[in-house]
Structure formats: C-alpha cells, structure tokens
Amino acid sequence: MGLIRSIKKDFNTMTWVLIPVAIAINVVVGEIVVLLRLPVYLDSIGTVLVAVICGPWAGALTGLLSNLIWGALIDPNALPWFPVALFIGFVAGWCGRFGLFKSWWKVIIAGILIALTSAVVSTPIAVYLYGGITASGSSFITAFLMQTGHDIISSVLSTNFLVEPVDKITTAMLAYAIIQGLSIRYISRFPRAENVEVGKKGNTTTQIIIAIVVAAILVVVAATVLVTMLAG
C-alpha cells in the first residue's frame, strides 16, 4: 500500500500538465544544444525538473515518454535507450526526496548519482544491442579500450563513467537554476514542493555562474583523464 500511495502522491493535475511541457523542454533544449554545437546532450533537463518537484515516479514516466516521443518524432534510433531516460528521472526524483536539490553543491552530488545510474543502465544496452560501439562520438574511447585488451563490458562502462558526469551534472545544475527562478507560489502547487527551497540565499545569477564554472572544470578534468589514458 505504501508503494501505491507513494506513486499516487506524485500525480496531480499540475503534474499531468507539466509532463508534456517538460518533454518539450527536453526536445527543444536538446536541439538548441545541437545548434550551439556544445559537447553535451542536455536532453533531460525537463525530466529532472519533473522528478524534483513532482517525485520519482513522475520523473520516471517523463523520462520514458520523452524517449518514446523523441524516437517517434525525431530519430527511431533513440527508442532502445528508454530505460536510461526512465532511470534518470527515477534517480533524480529520489535525489530530490533526500534533499539533494536544496543547495547548489548538493546538486552536484545529485548530478553524479544520476550520471552513475545512466552509465550503468546504458552499458548493457550498448553491449547487447550494439556490440559496444554506438553512434555517439565517445565510441572512439570504447574502441580504444577494446583494442587495448579490455573486454566489451568494462570498455563501455568506463567510457560511460568518463562521459556521463559532465552532461548530467550540467543537466542537474540547469534544472536547479530553473527551479530557483520559479516563484514559491507556483512550486507549491506541485506534489513535492517540499523538495526544494526557493529564494533561500544567494541569487540565481551567482549560482548559475558557479554551475557553469563547475561544469567547465569537469570538462577539463574529463579531458585530462582522457588524454592520460590515451597516452598511457
């Protein structure tokens, strides 16, 4: 009974109306990122947003439908990855429940947790459906690891651990920045408004700048690790 009540709590009319908008945010922000040629995807900001203010079940549903709709409208190649999107929403929701979306440095932890989940869930899909090499550019790292004698699973997994954090931490940060920009009155209409503290301290601009700096540092770190790996 606890489970059903927990699921039901996530969904009120505001949730049902927010989910389509969140999916559209995923799609359109994803397109803007492609337009700007940034080295990230940022295609789950809406999912994380729903997960935090509506709960893990709503987040999982948003991720799932977002992926299915992405596959149906833009690229059917996205369809087999639906479990990844689903778990991103689910884990982001639990991060919200445990208070990880209350200040910007906790959001980084949430981003890392989401990234780890996404890496673990996408590995079996990449291995069993695609034999390890997928359409993304990071497959060169996988190929390199496979060539240097690692087996497929560990190559794919370490590639994902290398690539995912940058994307998912930035995603979580942007979702946090969006939540900080909303009014208390607005957020309080969603089922899990208690997951966030709006307008507590500091202003949004500083936090966004910090977020960008952190993301930039992570890009540099990931690049350094990559270079050392290629050299060693």
Identity of residue 70: W
Residue 32's alpha-carbon distances to 62, 72, 77, 84, 213, in angstroms, are: 20, 19, 20, 22, 20
The token pair that represents 166 in the structure block: 């940058």
One of 29, 91, 108, 112 touching other proteins (CB under 8 A): 29
One of 39, 124, 199, 202 touching other proteins (CB under 8 A): 39
Name the nearest CA neighbour of 39 among 165, 157, 207: 165
The residue (of 105 and 140) whose beta carbon lies closer to other proteins is 140
Distance in Å, CB of 113 to other proteins, minimum: 23
Distance in Å, CB of 53 to other proteins, minimum: 10
Among the candidate windows 13-21, 83-91, 106-114, 223-231, which touches other proteins by CB under 8 A? 13-21
The residue (of 116 and 208) whose beta carbon lies closer to other proteins is 208
One of 7, 116, 120, 182 touching other proteins (CB under 8 A): 182
- Does residue number 73 form part of the binding site for other proteins (CB under 8 A)? yes
- Does residue number 217 form part of the binding site for other proteins (CB under 8 A)? no
Those residues whose C-beta lies under 8 Å from the C-beta of residue 91, and which sit 6 or more positions away, are: 56, 113, 114, 117
One of 6, 28, 202, 217 touching other proteins (CB under 8 A): 28
Q: Which of residues 97-156 bind other proteins (CB under 8 A)?
A: 129-135, 139, 143, 146-147, 149, 151-152
Residue 192's alpha-carbon distances to 58, 92, 109, 163, in angstroms, are: 11, 13, 20, 31
The token pair that represents 20 in the structure block: 């389509």
Distance in Å, CB of 109 to other proteins, minimum: 22
The residue (of 95 and 215) whose beta carbon lies closer to other proteins is 215
Query: Residues 54, 55, 56, 61: what is their CA dihedral angle, to the nearest 10 degrees?
Result: -30
Q: At what angle do helices 56-73 and 45-54 cross, to 10 degrees?
A: 160
> 82-86: long-range contacts at Cβ-Cβ below 8 A with a sequence spacing of 24 or more?
83/121, 83/125, 84/118, 84/121, 84/122, 84/125, 85/44, 85/47, 86/60
User: Would you tell me which residues interact with other proteins (CB under 8 A)?
Assistant: 11, 13-14, 16-21, 23-25, 27-29, 31-33, 35-39, 45, 65, 69, 71-77, 79-80, 129-135, 139, 143, 146-147, 149, 151-152, 174, 177-178, 181-182, 186, 189, 208, 212, 215-216
